[in-house]
Amino acid sequence: MLKSVLKFVFDNIGNPLSSKKISDTMTSLGRKINSRTVEKYLEAFSESYIIYPAKRYNIKGKEYLKSLEKYYIVDIGMRYMLLGSKMMDTGHILENVVYLEEDMMYMLVKLIIMKLILLHKIIKVQFIIR
């Protein structure tokens, strides 16, 4: 069942998903699973960095929405391994690559800013000591 949920998420990268939507689809395909189990699986996949959840943001309300997150895969090769080459959806794969690149740039900028702040404090402390 775990593998089936992972395949479903891999097949739907970049699409808005919810645990209920996944459980309903799996149940209709003859694989009965409740939404709480799917939610636990998604949390486990996220915590192990197999997938990255991207929460939807309400610009007017200035808050994250609680439903229909998009999920992106850490490695497209894993998708190819599970789904095969027939399931290569270029548009969603490109969206996945852009999301990962954007996420990496955000992390890099945060790291640089943190280092600059730290460096500024060290220089400031050295200046005070002298």
Give the CATH class of 2-129.
mainly alpha
What's the confidence (pLDDT) of residue 120? Answer: 56
Q: Which residues contact 15 (CB under 8 A, 6 or more apart)?
A: 70, 92
Q: 90: how many CB neighbours lie within 10 A of its CB?
A: 7
> Is 113 a residue whose pLDDT tops 70?
no
Q: 73: how many CB neighbours lie within 10 A of its CB?
A: 24
To 10 degrees, what angle do helices 2-11 and 76-83 make? 110
**Per-residue pLDDT tens for 30-61?**
889 999 999 999 999 999 988 888 877 777 77
What's the confidence (pLDDT) of residue 41? Answer: 95
